[in-house]
Amino acid sequence: MKVVIVLLLAAVSLGHAEHRGRDYVRDKICQEFNSMGKDNFRSLAIIMNSKKFSNATFEEISHLVKEVVSLAETCCAKGADPSCYETGTNSIMPAPSLSVWTGHGPVHRCGFTHEYSSNYGQAPLPVLVGSIKSYLSMVGTCCISPSPTVCFLKERLERKTLSILTTMSNKICSRYAVYGKEKSKFSTLIMFAQKIPSASSEDLSPLAEDSAEVFSKCCSSMAEDCMQKELSELTTKICTKLSSKDQKFSDCCKGKNLLENYLCMYSLQPAKSPQLPEIQRPTDEQLCTDDGSHQMDQFTFEIARRHTNIPEVFLSKVYDAAHNLVNGCCTAADSIACVSSKRPQLRGEILKFLTKASELCGEYNDLTFLEFKQRLKESFSKTMPDAAPASLTELVERRANFASTCCIMNAPPVYCGLKINAEVGHTCDHDSCMLI
């Protein structure tokens, strides 16, 4: 545990030193390098750079590593020339895509650390460091065990909580990095709304607010136990509020491990869309009051619970368009006239968009993949009777790949945001696109 704390302190030094000049950087780097030792310094450096530059290959990082560690050993030695650091970094300055201070060590440990950090690059640094150290410790222990299979099974069970924490924190922090706090709150609200569509926004909004607070607090925190502690407390709140409203949530909350309970709830599939009263749309006048944004969020929430087969990445388009309307019209000289002129056309566009999204994702989730592709082929054949067989095949494959990636729960928001525009339609890419 002490080593982890030292690593985290070093991370703070590395992260903030660059603003204080080269002498400060050299002194802090050497202080940490000498106190931590080459192996621990290397491990932290690989983690940090793999997180920050996840597209870099291991070969790119390794090429720089050799020179950098040599530089550190030379310039941080007692009696080294004060200009050694600046001269050395100028001579080996890497391409802009890579950081100077990476690390170096046994190849197998560095393939693993680099790949693991790239795959879980959005997990908080303390969680990532702890998980990597735990995994390497497990390998080191079990590979010399007389019964390695039994050892690995035992060790994996013991590190199950840490494994779940790493996976879940990477998922939620990845989405938080894209969405920010307010949209993360909306995303979580939609998740709850589609899993328990019978619950009201009054039940779910506080939980979405609390979730966004946890993500905001812990995704960039250097506190070692922030994510585990806060996510456990959040799980308790969710279970207390929602167990009585849904049997599946209740079943998830019966476990003794709170992080397992959270994963269980997070993984629940959306419920079937219920029969609910017609949505009450906000009036033009309501949209440009202090409560206008809330009115738009409430409207999107009501859409989500009535169309549970439309994933959040699609409804995110509705969210964006709704806030574009509020932000665009409500600063105009005649805000009500602006809203009134925009809503009729955009209402029709949104209806078409939701219909196409519901049809596509509904079929994808209701049919087997082969049946879904056959349905696509039949549909394209009707709408494009003169298309060549090769063109139809290409269209079917492209649409099927899109659906398999974006018609699923927790679909990647950046990738799907772009693909939705191309495959389903535009909703907010130009000035007139402002919703309902």
**Whether the Cβ atoms of residue 101 and residue 68 lie closer than 8 Å to each other:** yes
What residue spans define the domains of the chain? 22-92+105-168, 286-435
Q: What is the pLDDT of residue 241?
A: 94
Which pLDDT score is estimated for 105? 38
Cβ neighbour number for residue 38 with a 10 Å cutoff:
15
How many C-beta atoms lie closer than 10 Å to residue 283's C-beta?
11
Give dist(CA 164, CA 394) in Å, integer. 38
Letter string b/e over residues 14-37, b meaning 16 or more CB atoms within 10 A of that residue's CB: beebeeeeeeebbbbbbebbeebe
pLDDT, position 273? 83
Return the pLDDT at 138. 85
Fold of 22-92+105-168: Serum Albumin; Chain A, Domain 1 (1.10.246)
pLDDT of residue 414: 85
Residue 18 has a pLDDT of 41
- Give the integer Cα–Cα distance in Å for 385 and 42: 61
Give pLDDT, residue 433: 42
In this prediction, residue 75 carries a pLDDT of 81
* Cβ-contact 338, 329 below 8 angstroms: yes
pLDDT at 370: 92
Spatial CA neighbour of 187 closest among 243, 266, 120: 266
Residues of the chain with pLDDT under 50: 1-21, 93-107, 427-436
The whole-number pLDDT of residue 5 equals 33
286-435: which CATH architecture?
Orthogonal Bundle (1.10)
pLDDT of 169 reads 93
pLDDT for 293 equals: 76
Vertex 291, ends 285 and 296: CA angle to 5°? 80
